[in-house]
Amino acid sequence: MSPARRHATAEARSRWVLGDRRRTRSSPRAGQSGQATVETVAWLPVLFLIVATVGCLLAAGAARELAGHAAGAGAVAILQGGAPGAAAGAALPGWSRNRVTGRRCGRAVQVRVRPPIPVRRLADALTATARADAGPARSGS
């Protein structure tokens, strides 16, 4: 083997060894491998709680809007001489019809809608109530 070729081969070997050393220096220290995985797994319950809280708040907001619409529909039914309970029920989507209670107080309608939250105590705490008034009774009708 010529001296130039020996020198090139030795240089290539030293680059490979140096490259290997550099990789060894940048590799995780003993005991730190998998730390990122552990940290990610530790954050999963926090992430779940944040998502569940946002979902509960959105469900409560939807229940509030639905209660308002149902109470308004009941008040309009009173003005038109119809049944406020049937009108309020018709204004609600199917999933909420078994979560609603309502009552008529003179010419006003009060509707309560419980949001679709799996935890019953939380759903009861976030229950939305809306009241709509049909106005004063018309005289001479």
Give every CB contact of residue 115 below 8 A, 6+ residues apart in sequence. Answer: 56, 59, 60, 62, 63, 99, 123, 126, 127, 128
pLDDT score, position 95: 87
Domain chopping of the chain, boundaries: 54-135
Torsion angle of the four alpha carbons 131, 136, 140, 141, in this order, in degrees rounded to the nearest 10: -10
pLDDT score, position 39: 84
Mean pLDDT of successive 10-residue stretches along the chain, which has 141 residues: 63 55 53 77 93 96 96 95 93 90 94 94 96 83 51
pLDDT score, position 26: 53
Q: What are phi and psi of 106, to 5 degrees?
A: 70, -115
**Amino acid sitting at position 45:** P
Question: Strand, coil or helix: what is 41?
Answer: helix
pLDDT score, position 3: 66
The whole model's pTM is what? 0.68
pLDDT score, position 30: 57
C-alpha distances out from residue 47 to 30, 52, 53, 117, Å: 29, 9, 10, 18
Among 96, 112, 106, smallest CA distance to 137 is for 106
